[in-house]
Amino acid sequence: MSNSDQSAILVAAPRPPIPALAYLLTGCIAVIGSNSLVLGPIAPAVATSFGTSVPAVMSAAAAFGLGTSASALFLARYIDRVGARRMLQGALLLLALALVASALAPTVTALVAAQLVAGIAAGVAMPAIYASSAAIAPPGRESGTIGVVLTGWTLSMVAGVSLSAVLADLVHWRAVFAAVALLAATAVVGLTMSSLRDSKKSGPAPSPLGALAVPGILPLLIACGAFMTAFYGVYGYLGDHLHQGLGEPVSANGLAALAYGFGFGAAALLDGVIDRLGARRVMPFAYLLVAAVYVAMATASGSFGLLMATIALWGLANHFGLNVLVMRLTALDPTQRGTIMGLNSSVTYLAVSIGTAGFGPLYTSLGFANCAVIAALLMLVAASAAAWRSAGTAQQ
Q: What is the pTM of this model?
A: 0.75
Q: What is the mean pLDDT of each run of 10 residues along the chain (396 residues)?
A: 47 66 88 84 86 86 85 83 85 96 94 95 89 77 78 76 77 91 92 72 63 86 95 89 84 79 80 74 92 96 93 92 88 80 83 84 92 97 85 45
The pLDDT value given to residue 337: 77
The pLDDT value given to residue 186: 93
Cβ pair 330, 134 in contact under 8 A: yes
Question: What total of structural domains would you count in the chain?
Answer: 1
* Structural domain contains residue 289: yes
Which stretches of 211-303 are DSSP H helices?
Answer: 217-240, 252-266, 272-277, 279-300
What is the three-class DSSP state of 203? coil
* Structural domain contains residue 309: yes
* Structural domain contains residue 7: no
Dihedral sign, Cα of residue 344, residue 349, residue 352, residue 353: negative
Helix 108-136 crosses helix 84-103 at what angle (to 10 degrees)? 160
Maximum CA extent, the chain: 78
* Structural domain contains residue 283: yes
User: Which CATH number does the domain housing residue 23 bear?
Assistant: 1.20.1250.20
DSSP-derived letter for residue 208 is: T
Q: Of the candidates 378, 344, 384, which has an alpha carbon nearest to the alpha carbon of residue 359? A: 378
Task: Print the domain residue range for 342.
Answer: 18-197+208-392
Q: ∠ CA 238-63-236 to the nearest 5 degrees?
A: 5
What is the three-class DSSP state of 29? helix
The pLDDT value given to residue 375: 96
Cβ pair 127, 79 in contact under 8 A: yes
Cβ pair 103, 299 in contact under 8 A: no
CA distances from 70 to 3, 101, 124, 380 (A): 53, 20, 10, 27
Dihedral sign, Cα of residue 153, residue 328, residue 349, residue 354: negative
- Cα separation, 32 vs 163, in Å, equals 15
Dihedral sign, Cα of residue 225, residue 229, residue 232, residue 236: positive
Q: Of the candidates 307, 337, 322, which has an alpha carbon nearest to the alpha carbon of residue 146? A: 322
* Structural domain contains residue 259: yes
How far does Cα 139 stand from its chain's mean position? Answer: 24
Q: What is the Cβ-side half-sphere exposure of residue 142, based on CA atoms within 13 angstroms?
A: 22
- Cα separation, 255 vs 318, in Å, equals 18
* Structural domain contains residue 238: yes
* Structural domain contains residue 132: yes
How many residues are recorded in the chain? 396
Q: Of the candidates 232, 253, 225, which has an alpha carbon nearest to the alpha carbon of residue 329? A: 225
* Structural domain contains residue 223: yes
Cβ pair 96, 104 in contact under 8 A: no
Residue 48: how many other CB atoms lie within 10 Å: 13
Residue 8: how many other CB atoms lie within 10 Å: 12
